[in-house]
Amino acid sequence: MKPAVFDYHSPADLEEALRLLDEFGYDAKIMSGGQSLIPMMNMRLARPQVIIDINNISELSYIQVTDSVIKIGGLTRHYQVEESKEIERVCPLLTEGMKLIGHSQIRSRGTIGGSIVHADPTAELPVMMTLLGAEFTLASPDGKRTVTTDEFFLTYLTTTIDMNEILVSIDIPIPSTRTGYAIDEFTLRKGDFAIVLAAASVTLSEDGTIASASLCLGGVDGVPVLLEEVTEGMIGQVPSTELIAESCEQIADLVEPEPDIHASSEYRKDLCITYAKRVLERAAERAALL
């Protein structure tokens, strides 16, 4: 299959990319890794008249780790995050989650910004960004603005990014010490998009009780779903299989996943509970080892 005819621009810097985006407006699409955009164009689900390829804008590709935050440029490839020893040291969730994205060929080309803007609710990055409380910086000819994941993700494949904006950087707060993380997912085949995915964090106090915990699910709604109702009752308690199992039972009443050709709503709910328990237990075990 081939895409519809389009004009191609390859700006050398961000300023030029923003000028082109402003000039062509809704007729244009940014291309970063092309791993989602090109298949959509080939299937004629997207027919941009102008492609603005940002792959030459090297200023958008970087990883910086400070004491309090991980900063990732929008054009940074999945594999660069997966292989970063600094990221593995301060936030191993990202290392673990990145390995679940497609196959190594996809991760060698796909970008962090592209996956976030594509906003597939079964994709790993939107779920991890939501769990971690990331913020996204969007640049336009008028300047920059920073948004939270709550403000950014609207529904399936839809975000609040404006047609003249580029996602230039992602800021992820570095978790406090004694925080364990886990991410896991149910797929039909290795490398497929998840039917359901779950990510969790558990922070332990000095006395071994839970100081804070978070759980985020993907594949159950149009956006990643943070389930504070499940984790808030765990605060102050000693983590155990029973506590986690009991807390997760309420998930059946909190999510209403749509059925599709892959799974019924009830089956997805069962998967949510199974995977939520699994990642919370694993996160608590890992926190106890720190």
Q: Which positions touch ligand FAD (CB under 6 A)?
A: 29-37, 39, 74, 101-102, 106, 110-111, 113-115, 117-118, 123-125, 161, 166-167, 193
For residue 72, the minimal CB distance to ligand FAD (Å) is 11
**Residue closer to ligand FAD, measured from CB, 224 or 239:** 224
Q: CA–CA distance from 216 to each of 52, 108, 121, 280 (Å)?
A: 33, 26, 11, 10
For residue 138, the minimal CB distance to ligand FAD (Å) is 8
DSSP letter at 272 equals H
**Residue closer to ligand FAD, measured from CB, 172 or 248:** 172
Q: Distance between CA 163 and CA 126 in Å, rounded?
A: 20
Reference 164, options 2, 6, 28, 5; nearest CA is: 28
**Residue closer to ligand FAD, measured from CB, 40 or 69:** 40
Reference 251, options 234, 273, 228; nearest CA is: 273
* Tokens linked to 117: 């803007």
Continuous segment of H or E residues that includes residue 51: strand 50-53
**Residue closer to ligand FAD, measured from CB, 188 or 288:** 188
**Residue closer to ligand FAD, measured from CB, 74 or 175:** 74
Q: Is 76 left (phi over 0), alpha (psi -120 to 50) or beta?
A: beta
Partners of residue 26 on adjacent β-strands: none
For residue 260, the minimal CB distance to ligand FAD (Å) is 16
**Residue closer to ligand FAD, measured from CB, 185 or 281:** 185
**Residue closer to ligand FAD, measured from CB, 139 or 202:** 139
Q: CA–CA distance from 102 to each of 1, 39, 46 (Å)?
A: 21, 14, 21
For residue 33, the minimal CB distance to ligand FAD (Å) is 3
**Residues 98, 128 contacting (CB under 8 angstroms):** no
Q: Distance between CA 30 and CA 52 in Å, rounded?
A: 5
For residue 124, the minimal CB distance to ligand FAD (Å) is 5
For residue 4, the minimal CB distance to ligand FAD (Å) is 15
The SS3 of residue 50 is strand
Hey, how many other C-beta atoms are within 10 angstroms of the C-beta on 188? 10
